Structure 1
Amino acid sequence: MRILQINKFFYRRGGAETIFFDTINGQRARGHEVAEFSTRDCRNLPSDYAHYFVENIGEFPLGRGFLPSLSNFFKFFKNDETEKNLSALILAIEPDVAHLHNTYHNLPAVFFKVLKKHKVPIVMTVHDVWPLCPKRRLRRVLNSKLCVACRHAHLFNCACYRHRGESAGANVAGMIEPYYYRFKGIWKLVDHFICPSQFIFDQLLKFGFPKDKLFLLHNPVNLPTEPFSLGNKIVYLGRFHVDKGIKILLQSLPWLRQYETIIAGHGPENHWVENFISQYSLTNVKKIGWVDQNHWNDLMGQAKVVVLPSLVYEGSTLAILEALASGRLVVAAECGGIPEIIKNNQTGFLVKPGDPEALANAVKSAMGMDEINATKIIKNGRELVEKEYDSEAYFGHLEEVYANILANLSKK
């Protein structure tokens, strides 16, 4: 089968990119011809199709205090380079199907119509809740409850419920792109939506996406042959962003001074993290940069507990799955699709989002857990990943999705 894989970034940046590249590599290993379409960037990995890549128009600067430049603003709605390059790529490879990952903000929406113009079926993996919430949160300020105010296309609510430091102008700018998607019928052009979690599936259904277009398929996880020997440190791997709970994690650490802690990543809260560590003299905390795949195993091997204190409704958190697969104890926030993976006191530990003291207590319990009980929870976590997130099953089901779409189209 000839498959066109599309993502807005062509370098390893987060969970969506990991799934994007793992899907490409896995499909090629199974004998499929796979081409890529993305944006140009000096950090990009090599690609035989890089000459088709297009300018990264940048995201609407939601929450950054200024409106996007008019130049990039209009490129989102009308983009000759994208139409020309994608059309040329389609004519060159004649794909049977296009598989989309994260494309919003940085790739102009016109590419959906280019695919349909050339009668290429579209499958899209919904890695996060952006199709439902322009802020990718489904949550309001200081409120841990699920927010569905943008249901029925009431996207203006994202400007009404803004976080501290977000200007009204930037929030209005952030509404324009999802309004365009909805009122131009962009989502209707997608033949099938891949939902990595039941949470994503249920929310898309509640927001009016057709049930017959939704398919629950867990992300694949490469399971190490044997779990790493258990370390003795607390580890956080992720973006330094308020939505990821980095501030909540740091605020919990004064209660955890007896444990060595490593926080790995980067992001807009980088200086805040450094200042907090200095202000509270957290000499037990080591801050390192983003960890590439070559150093990931080494860092994971030092961990006894991996912490993911997200404040937003995650779809399916790859970092949690990788931690479980590696035989770590996981403490995570009870929100979104996370409780589908972490069953409290069975495969890990759940805490209320946004509560530093509760987070500290849960981490302390996990760090102090004896070997017998820790081994039991670790075993449960690995078995869950092995059963529900198997790579071979993922690729097999994905091929079924592609085949069903092609079969249905041939009947029309």
Structure 2
Amino acid sequence: MKILMVNKYNYIKGGSETYYFALKRVLEAHGHTVIDFSMKDEKNVTSPYSEYFVDHVDYNGAGGMFAKFRMAMNIIYSREAKKKFETLVKAEHPDLIHLHIFQHQMSPSILDVIKKYHIPTVYTAHDLKMVCLNYKMMHHGEICEKCIDGHYYHCAVNRCVKNSLSKSCVNVIEGYIHKWRKSYDAIDTIITPSAFYMRKFEEFGISPERIVHIPNFLDREAPVVKHSTDAKKYYLYFGRLSEEKGILTLIKAVTGTNMQLYVVGTGPLKEELADYITKNQLTNIKLLGFKGGQELIDIVGNAKAIILPSEWYENGPYSAIEALQLGRPIVGADIGGIPELVKENGYLFESRNAISLREALEKIEQMDFPTYQQMERASLYLYEENYTQGIHYELLQKVYQNVGITL
């Protein structure tokens, strides 16, 4: 079977691309042909379909008034993406289309092609763009659901997109145009990596019959962890260093304690965090910067627990799934899809509440070793029951079959 997969980045940029390439490997291992449609970029993985990719778009780059106008039009409706997508569809005749992140750089214009050729289509909702114009139901550090029922004008009123009135207005126009045109009706089934996102889509007016929850997965065997001298002596946060991830709340929670915290990653808060740690002489916190490969596996695998302090509606974060596979307990905020990853394997705390987070960490500090081992086993069990390649493919088969495709 030919499956045309669409994602605007054809290289590992984040969790959605991690999923995209893992799914591609799984589908190909089962004998299917996967056709790529993406955006041109020097970082791209080599693809035999790159001639069809849309030209690179950088919305953060400099440019004059005309360039900015063209970019705005591209977000609303990209004629280039529609034309190239249709050319690819006509050349390859896919049996099914599986959409991932396609808005902005490609725009919903490609949905017109799907409607025209009546191709069965599923969409993995890695974010909330379909119901929230800035992707994450959050602006200026606060959760926001004012656009429920398609009242997109709130995005402009609150300058939800990068605190810019002009950028927010472009997204408002995009939202209303595609609502009026019913562009997203081209999608037969929406897959959400978290049950929370499924419920949120339903709350925002998407028919429950169109939505199915399938967790993300890892397509690797459990890696071997090299034991370190500081094993089980530190807590770990690894991921993007940005405000919505709750890293500042985490820093405050361990300030003034003897708990050791390692922070792995980079992002816009990197310098602010370093200054805060230096200014307050926090010797129990180490910023380790970006890590990858076996080095990251060892850091995660030797951690006492992984902390997910998010303050926005997380979906199904890969950092948590990787922690589960390595048998790490999790301390997570009670927001978004995080509670689905914390059962008997850790503790939840009130999002944005440093005191609540500290109390959760203290429970682990005071725990006896047999209870701690039970928590490690609970993480492994949760992974095996929900996040393996085999389970994911089985569930995906059912979704494809429901839209008229047999794998």
TM exceeding 0.5? yes
CA deviations 1:296-328 (Å, max 9, x no partner) are 312212311211111111222222122122111
Q: Which moved more, 1:398-407 or 1:30-39?
A: 398-407
Give 3-state SS (helix, strand or coil) of 1:303's partner. Answer: coil
Name which of structure 1's ranges 216-225 and 5-14 shifts more when overlaid on structure 2: 216-225
Change (3 A) 1:123 1:267: same
Residue number in structure 1 paired with 2:301: 301
Give the aligned partner of residue 36 of structure 1: 36
**Contact 1:60–1:67, Cα closer than 8 Å, also in 2:** no
Report deviation, 1:207: 1.4
- 2:202 aligned with 1:202, yes or no? no
CA drift at 1:18: 1.1
**Residue in 1 that maps onto 2:89:** 90
In structure 2, relative to structure 1, the CA distance for the partners of 1:22 and 1:163 (3 Å cut) is same
AA of the residue aligned to 2:199: D
Q: Secondary structure at the match of 1:218?
A: coil
Give the stretch that moved more between structures: 155-164 or 37-46.
155-164
Structure-1 residue corresponding to 2:103: 104
* Alignment of structure 1 residues 258-407 onto 2, 5 Å: 258-343=258-343, 346-406=344-404
For the Cα contact (< 8 Å) 1:67–1:170, is it kept in 2? no
- Name the Cα RMSD after superposition: 2.8
Cα distance, 1:164 vs structure 2: 12
8 Å Cα contact 1:250/1:276 also seen in 2: no
The structural deviation recorded for 1:124 is: 0.2
- Summarize deviations over 1:89-115 as a string: whole Å, max 9, x none: 223322111111122232222112123
Letter in 2 for 1:20: Y
CA distance, structure 2, for counterparts of residue 264 and residue 176 of structure 1 = 38
Secondary structure at 2:235 match in 1: strand
1:175 pairs with one of 157, 172, 175: 172
Moved more, 164-173 or 353-362: 164-173
When residues 362 and 59 of structure 1 are mapped into structure 2, their CA distance, relative to the original with a 3 A threshold, is: farther
Flag the 1:72–1:163 CA change in 2: closer, same or farther, 3 A. closer
Which deviates further from its counterpart, 75-84 or 393-402? 75-84
Matched position secondary structure for 1:149: coil
**Is 1:148 equivalent to 2:149 in the alignment?**
no
CA displacement at 1:347 relative to structure 2: 1.9
Separation in structure 1 between the aligned mates of residue 66 and residue 352 of structure 2, nearest angstrom: 30
- 1:248 maps to 249
| 2:270 alignment partner AA | N
Displacement of 1:244 in angstroms is 1.2
Partner of 1:126: 125
Q: Deviations over 1:16-40 (max 9, x none)?
A: 1111111001111111111111112
Secondary structure of the residue aligned to 2:404 is helix
Distance 2:239 2:90 in 1: 39
* 1: CA distance, partners of 2:168 / 2:289: 30
Superposition map of 1:187-226 within 5 A: 187-222=184-219, 224-225=221-222
**Structure 2 counterpart SS, 1:36:** strand
For normalisation by structure 2, the TM-score amounts to 0.88
The separation in 2 between residues aligned to 1:153 and 1:68, in whole angstroms, is 29
**What CA distance in whole angstroms lies between the structure 1 residues aligned with 2:321 and 2:124?**
17
Structure 2: distance between partners of 1:49 and 1:164: 32
Q: Is the 8 A contact 2:76 2:171 kept in 1?
A: no
- Matched residue SS, 2:304: strand
**Deviation digits for residues 217-242 of structure 1 (CA, Å, limit 9, x no counterpart):** 12223475488565322211111111
Task: Normalising by structure 1, report the TM-score.
Answer: 0.87
Whether the 8 Å CA contact 1:237–1:265 is kept in 2: the answer is: yes
Separation (CA, whole Å) in 2 of partners of 1:248 and 1:170? 29
Corresponding letter in the other structure for 1:280: N
Structure 1 residue 153: deviation in Å? 0.8
- The 3 A distance-change label for structure 1 pair 294 and 44 is farther
Percent of aligned positions that are identical: 28
Go from structure 1 to structure 2 and tell me whether the alpha carbon gap of 1:3 and 1:72 turns closer, same or farther (over 3 Å shift). Answer: same
For 1:181, what is the secondary structure of its paired residue?
A: helix
Q: Which moved more, 1:169-178 or 1:199-208?
A: 169-178
Partner of 1:238: 239
Residues 352/81 of structure 1: CA separation in 2 closer, same or farther (3 Å cut): same
| Cα distance, 1:4–1:142 mapped onto 2, change above 3 Å | closer
Rounded to whole Å, the distance in 2 between the matches of 1:31 and 1:139 is: 41
Q: Kindly provide the CA deviation profile for residues 352-393 of structure 1, in whole angstroms up to 9, marking residues without a partner as x.
A: 111123223322432453321111112112212211223112
Match of 2:5 in 1: 5
Change (3 A) 1:290 1:94: farther
- Flag structure 2 segments of 5+ consecutive residues without an equivalent: none
What code does the residue aligned with 1:385 have?
Y
**Partner secondary structure for residue 255 of structure 2:** helix
> Given the superposition, is the C-alpha separation of residues 67 and 188 from structure 1 closer, same or farther in structure 2, using an over 3 Å criterion?
farther
Q: Does structure 1 conserve the Cα–Cα contact (< 8 Å) formed by 2:235 and 2:262? A: yes
Identify if the C-alpha distance between structure 1 residues 31 and 172 changes in structure 2 by more than 3 Å, giving closer, same or farther.
same
**Per-residue deviation, 1:167:** 4.2
Change (3 A) 1:292 1:12: farther
